[in-house]
Chains A and B, each alone.
Chain A
């Protein structure tokens, strides 16, 4: 499966956070790479949505929907927004 980028989760993030997030700054919790959400590496059907660091490939965010409830894991990020 080919990777997309953070633009592809703009709608999902709007649903989760209630605000536009593709331009929000992020810092990777593993390597410290700093870049906006739009530039992160995104896999839409991994299953679930997986967001990885463009530099070190660490998992930064994960979104999984189970029975209409979305589970959000942001543990890979040092900074978001």
Chain B
């Protein structure tokens, strides 16, 4: 249509795997070369589409694991009975093609202009399950990381050792009076528990942003 400004529509495109990095026994980070990538914000995700030889299609969403300005990466956990994750964690190799669309999301996002400092409360089963551990052991200036290990703690563990609940959220994160903005993401049941508990400790509901990953993962 002459004279019509065509907006860039989000479409599927083929990316190339540029690196596969082992994070934990069951978690890989897949770095991607995406030819037509407009840049992304912290908190956005992308959709991956796998097509079987017989035409069967499976789609999944993955949070973007790299910082804005860095090469696109996703971090994938291998799931028993998973339809997509075993392929991504076990079979995908550097140089392989991968179909994706993104970046997606304008609600569960954070920009430097939203302010800081930043606090991450990270619930894992065991210390070996902690993803990005080296990075979190030496967090950047203005970033604090608090771990809770719900299943097994190493000898001398000084961090939290229980599930995220009202008692933990009343103690670990910043008090509601300081008007923090909270982002809760993870398995659906975890997000329901954490977001409701934050509201119970005084966070206004509109200051608690949520993103539910379904039944995957776990704590």
Chain A residues with CB under 8 Å of chain B are 2-8, 10-11, 14-15, 18-23, 36-39
Chain B residues with CB under 8 Å of chain A are 7, 9-10, 45-47, 61, 101-102, 104-108, 188-189, 209-215
Q: Which 9 A-B pairs have the closest CB atoms?
A: A38-B107, A10-B104, A14-B10, A23-B106, A23-B107, A11-B47, A22-B107, A20-B106, A2-B215
A4 vs B104: C-alpha distance when bound (angstroms): 16
- Interface pair B210/A38, CB less than 8 Å apart: yes
- Interface pair B214/A2, CB less than 8 Å apart: yes
Partner of A10, one of B105, B188, B189: B105
Q: Output the nearest chain B residue to A7 by Cβ-Cβ distance.
A: B211
| A-B CB contact pairs (8 Å), 18 listed | A2-B214, A4-B213, A5-B188, A5-B211, A5-B212, A7-B61, A7-B108, A8-B214, A10-B45, A10-B104, A10-B106, A11-B10, A11-B46, A11-B102, A22-B106, A22-B107, A23-B106, A38-B209
Cβ distance B167 to chain A, nearest Cβ, rounded Å: 25
- Interface pair A36/B107, CB less than 8 Å apart: yes
- Interface pair A3/B104, CB less than 8 Å apart: no
- Interface pair B188/A4, CB less than 8 Å apart: yes
A11 surroundings in chain B (CB, below 8 A): 10, 46-47, 61, 101-102, 104
Q: Please indicate which of the listed interface residues B101, B188, B212 has the most CB atoms of chain A within 10 Å of its own CB.
A: B212
- Interface pair B45/A7, CB less than 8 Å apart: yes
Q: Please indicate which of the listed interface residues B61, B107, B209 has the most CB atoms of chain A within 10 Å of its own CB.
A: B107
The answer to whether A38 and B211 touch (CB under 8 A), given A7-B45, A8-B61, A10-B45, is yes
Partner of A38, one of B46, B47, B61, B108: B108
A2 vs B47: C-alpha distance when bound (angstroms): 19
A22 vs B214: C-alpha distance when bound (angstroms): 17
Q: Output the nearest chain B residue to A18 by Cβ-Cβ distance.
A: B9
Cβ distance B194 to chain A, nearest Cβ, rounded Å: 13
